[in-house]
């Protein structure tokens, strides 16, 4: 790909964030993201300076990924439909669809990229290398069918852990997200030692809210942590921010509060205090 490295970074990011299984309204190979979220994911540090790609740069990369030569398609087929064996196929790498504040990205030929990643012997030249990529999924399906039909008495069966791994993970937060959830819980406990302890289920739910703030709004972990600490140190907001959901809801309001606090003039500031050298004496209002 004769393009700058940022093109490859965005492409790999989209591949890794795409759903591996159908989940909610998304199908396998789709993801919900936004230009600010991709900007945040592609940012990096040069010393102490944080370099963030511009919206124009990210939009240009997305636009390049979805360009296509429609002459290679049949009119009645969706643009992303193709056989994984058509090595000479030409078309878009992604298709995008606008939704509220975000966009749905569909990875075209997602199955093809998965067989390349997980397959063995892809350099052998046949279809054998492509087919090996799905061997694990075929094995699990066969085990599941055998278990249902009662035919696995003398055969290797899927363990409970294999079946658990085949289920889609509903909440996929990072360690940083979970750390922020613990931070909020600890700060709330400092403010109110008699509060009920935060349960593990609540912490995971809060961590998922942090994930949504990062992915959908492009918030950085550092900014979220800084604002969390401020909200729990403020005498008013620490009585109102009692969950990560409420924090996410009031994020913009809290940001404005911090800005207004930083530019507020100091109290008891005496203006025009020139003393005896006041060049503007009070006017004489007597008779």
pLDDT tens column, 105-145: 999 888 877 765 444 444 444 444 444 444 445 545 555 55
Q: Is the dihedral of CA 121, 127, 130, 134 positive or negative?
A: negative
Same domain, 3 and 93: yes
Distance (Å, rounded) from C-alpha 43 to C-alpha 55? 12
124 lies in some domain? no
Total count of domains within the chain? 2
Asked if residue 102 is part of any domain, the answer here is yes
Q: What residue numbers bound the domain in which 89 lies?
A: 1-119
Q: pLDDT tens, 24-42?
A: 888 989 999 999 999 999 9
Question: pLDDT-based confidence at 211, cuts 50/70/90?
Answer: very high
Q: Name 105's Cβ contacts closer than 8 Å, sequence gap at least 6.
A: 14, 18, 30, 31, 32, 33, 94, 95, 96
Q: Say if CB 217 and CB 230 are below 8 A apart.
A: no
Confidence of residue 161 (pLDDT cuts 50, 70, 90): very low
Most confident of 4-8, 87-91, 243-247: 243-247
User: Measuring CA to CA, which residue among 67, 62, 66 is closest to residue 102?
Assistant: 62
Q: Do 7 and 90 lie in a common domain?
A: yes
As beta bridge partners, residue 103 has: 33, 98
Res. 69: pLDDT tops 70: no
Residue 90: phi, psi to the nearest 5?
Answer: -125, 135
Flag whether 239 is in a domain. Answer: yes
Same domain, 24 and 88: yes
Question: Residues 194, 96: one domain?
Answer: no
Highest mean pLDDT among 63-72, 102-111, 143-152, 243-252: 243-252
* Residues 37, 32: Cα–Cα separation, whole Å: 10
* 85 and 15 in a common domain: yes
| Residues 75, 1 share a domain | yes
Does some domain include residue 25? yes
- Is 234 contained in some domain? yes
The mean predicted confidence, pLDDT, of the chain is 75
Could you tell me if residue 101 is inside a domain? yes
pLDDT bin (cut points 50, 70, 90) of residue 146 is low
Residue 32 φ/ψ, nearest 5 degrees: -105, 125
**Which ranges of the chain would DSSP assign to H, the alpha helix?**
5-17, 35-42, 55-65, 110-118, 128-131, 135-149, 160-166, 175-191, 200-217, 221-233, 244-249, 251-263
Q: Is the pLDDT of residue 167 over 70?
A: no
Residue 208, pLDDT score: 92
Q: Is residue 3 part of a domain?
A: yes
Q: What is the pLDDT of residue 266?
A: 52
* Ramachandran quadrant class, 95 (left: phi over 0; alpha: psi -120 to 50; beta: rest): beta
Give the 3-state secondary structure of residue 94: strand
Do residues 114 and 206 both lie within one domain? Answer: no
Helix/strand/coil (H/E/C) assignment for every residue in 112-158: HHHHHHHCCCHHHCCCHHHHHHHHHHHHHHHHHHHHHHCCCCCCCCC
pLDDT > 60? residue 156: no
Angle at 82 between CA 72 and CA 68, to 5 degrees: 40
CB-based contacts of 250, cutoff 8 Å, min separation 6 = 231, 237, 240, 241
Percent of the chain exceeding pLDDT 90 equals: 36
Co-location of 115 and 180 in the same domain: no
Question: E strand or H helix at 102, and its extent?
Answer: strand 102-107
Those residues with Cβ within 8 angstroms of residue 248's Cβ, 6 or more apart along the chain or in another chain: 209, 212, 213
- In sequence order, which residues have a C-beta less than 8 Å from that of residue 156 and are 6 or more positions away? 143
CA geometry: angle 279, 285, 287, nearest 5 deg:
140
Judge if 113 and 19 occupy the same domain. yes
Tokens encoding 145: 């069918």
Residue 91 resides in a domain: yes
């Amino acid at each position: 790909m004769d393009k700058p490295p940022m093109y490859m970074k965005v492409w790999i990011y989209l591949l890794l964030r795409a759903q591996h299984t159908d989940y909610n309204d998304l199908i396998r190979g789709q993801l919900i993201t936004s230009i600010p979220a991709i900007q945040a994911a592609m940012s990096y540090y040069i010393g102490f300076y944080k370099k963030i790609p511009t919206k124009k740069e990210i939009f240009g990369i997305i636009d390049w990924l979805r360009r296509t030569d429609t002459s290679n398609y049949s009119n009645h087929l969706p643009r992303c439909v193709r056989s994984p064996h058509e090595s000479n196929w030409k078309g878009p790498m992604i298709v995008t669809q606008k939704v509220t504040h975000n966009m749905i990205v569909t990875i075209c030929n997602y199955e093809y990229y998965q067989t390349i990643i997980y397959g063995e012997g892809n350099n052998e030249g046949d279809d054998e290398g492509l087919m090996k990529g799905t061997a694990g999924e075929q094995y699990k399906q066969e085990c599941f069918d055998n278990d249902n039909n009662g035919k696995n008495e003398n055969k290797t069966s899927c363990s409970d852990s294999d079946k658990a791994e085949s289920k889609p993970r509903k909440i996929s937060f990072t360690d940083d997200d979970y750390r922020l959830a613990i931070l909020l819980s600890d700060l709330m406990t400092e403010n109110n030692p008699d509060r009920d302890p935060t349960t593990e289920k609540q912490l995971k739910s809060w961590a998922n809210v942090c994930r949504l703030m990062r992915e959908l709004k492009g918030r950085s972990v550092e900014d979220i942590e800084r604002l969390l600490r401020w909200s729990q140190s403020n005498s008013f907001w620490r009585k109102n921010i009692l969950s990560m959901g409420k924090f996410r809801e009031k994020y913009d309001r809290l940001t404005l509060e911090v800005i207004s606090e930083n530019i507020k003039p100091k109290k008891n500031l005496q203006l025009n205090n020139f003393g005896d050298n006041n060049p503007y004496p009070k006017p004489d209002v007597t008779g």
